[in-house]
Structure 1
Amino acid sequence: MLTDFLIRIAVAGVLGGLIGIERQLRAKEAGLRTHILVGIGSAMFMIVSKYGFEDILNQSHVSFDPSRVAAQVVSGMGFLGAGTIIIQKQIVKGLTTAAGLWVTAAIGLVIGSGLYEIGVYGTVLTLLVLEVFRQISNRLIGHHHLIEVRLRPQSVPQVLIALQKMRIRPGHIKVSQKDDDEDKCELVMDVVLSPRQKIEALYEAIMSVDGIKRVDVN
């Protein structure tokens, strides 16, 4: 039985690591080590919840629900996932990584309970969603980019006109004045490029506007 427990913990760590590799390749907030630890920890909590209280439960005067230990992993992952969600320039980022950690915890719980097939199946589906569906989304919907431009205030309308000529409609626009220089401001835009549009063309269109100081594309 001890050998089986050790195998479960190792398998949960490996499966979590597979998801972590994909996240780290995308330079996300939670990478390989984080997902491995989540998988290992979830499996250990499930083992404790399922087998750790057998000696106490056998006593006639004891009555409680040990499954609450595993149940708390679900709510506890909410706090860990919230740490990967950040708001950058009023744009929410990290939701997919938080969901990946949540699924990794679920995989760890499944493996910890001994359901290897379900855990492997869940890992494969998660990788398909993260990688294959990402490519499908980029090809059918487009690429999502966050653009930060430092420019003169009078150049803001010209940048918007340049985007309009490329048939790009920003989803969110924020213009803020730089405190250290009244002649400079910062323009932050959330745009989606269609599969036929290239980020290089967008960069050149923005840089062609007079008064542009700096352009950052994420």
Structure 2
Amino acid sequence: MITDLLLRVALAGFLGGLIGLERQLRAKEAGLRTHILVGIGSALFMIVSKYGFADILNESHVGLDPSRIAAQVVSGMGFLGAGTIIIQKQVVKGLTTAAGLWVTAAIGLVIGSGLYEIGIYGALMTLVVLEVFRQLGNHLLGHHHSMLIRLLPESVPGVLVTLQKLRLKPGYLSVVQHENDSEVCEMTMELTLRPKQEISDVYAQVQQISGVRFIDIR
């Protein structure tokens, strides 16, 4: 029995780590270690919920609901998931990572309850959604990037003209003075590239504009 419980904890951490590895490779807010800990913690909570009170169940006046601790994991994950969501310049980021943490907690609960096949299947399906569907969405719908450019103020129109030639319409565009250099301004925007359009081409075109000092694309 003890060996089986130890296996559940290790397997939950391993499956959570697979999801976290994909997130870390994408440089997301919650990575490998976070997902491993969520998987292990969820499995431990489920094990405690199912088996942790066996010593007092024989008491005549004691009645326990084995699902109560596990149920709190679902609501508790909302706080951890909220920490990965960032609202920056009216753009919400981190929702997929938050959902991944939520699913990792579910996988940990399933493995902790002993439903190995369901937990492994859930982890594989999660990886398919995160990786395969991401590539499919980029291929069919285009992909999003955030761009920050440090440049001279007179170069701003040149950037906009270049983006127009590339048939890109910047979203949430802002131009502010650089905090350490009064002669340079910072231009930030969100770009949605068309399918098969490469961000490297956009970078090369913008870099050729006179007065552009620095470009950061994420």
Q: Per-residue displacement from partner, 1:30-84 (whole Å, max 9, x unpaired)? A: 2222211111110010011112123323322223434221111112212222222
- Note the C-alpha offset of 1:90: 4.7
| Worse-superposed segment, 84-93 or 21-30 | 84-93
Instruction: Find the counterpart in structure 2 of residue 216 from structure 1.
Output: 216
Residue identity matched to 1:48 = V
Residue identity matched to 2:37 = L
Deviating beyond 6 angstroms after TM superposition, the runs of 4 or more aligned structure 1 residues are none
| Worse-superposed segment, 111-120 or 155-164 | 155-164
Instruction: Find the counterpart in structure 2 of residue 17 from structure 1.
Output: 17
SS at match of 1:50: helix
Instruction: Find the counterpart in structure 2 of residue 8 from structure 1.
Output: 8
- Note the C-alpha offset of 1:89: 4.9
How far, CA to CA, are the matches of 2:90 and 2:206 in structure 1? 22
- Whether 2:117 is the aligned partner of 1:113: answer no
How far, CA to CA, are the matches of 1:204 and 1:25 in structure 2? 25
| Worse-superposed segment, 89-98 or 39-48 | 89-98
Q: Per-residue displacement from partner, 1:80-127 (whole Å, max 9, x unpaired)? A: 222222344553322211211111110000011111111011011000
Instruction: Find the counterpart in structure 2 of residue 190 from structure 1.
Output: 190
Instruction: Find the counterpart in structure 2 of residue 177 from structure 1.
Output: 177
Count, aligned residues = 218
Instruction: Find the counterpart in structure 2 of residue 153 from structure 1.
Output: 153
> Is the CA contact (8 Å cut-off) linking 2:142 and 2:195 kept in structure 1?
yes
TM-score, normalization by structure 1: 0.92
Instruction: Find the counterpart in structure 1 of residue 142 from structure 2.
Output: 142
**Unaligned 5+ runs, structure 1:** none
SS at match of 1:187: strand
> Is the CA contact (8 Å cut-off) linking 2:49 and 2:67 kept in structure 1?
yes
**Unaligned 5+ runs, structure 2:** none
Identity among equivalent positions (%) equals 68
Residue identity matched to 1:106 = A
- Note the C-alpha offset of 1:153: 2.4
TM-score, normalization by structure 2: 0.92
Instruction: Find the counterpart in structure 1 of residue 98 from structure 2.
Output: 98
Residue identity matched to 2:27 = A
> Is the CA contact (8 Å cut-off) linking 2:38 and 2:105 kept in structure 1?
yes
How far, CA to CA, are the matches of 1:98 and 1:37 in structure 2? 14
- Note the C-alpha offset of 1:210: 2.6
Residue identity matched to 1:187 = M
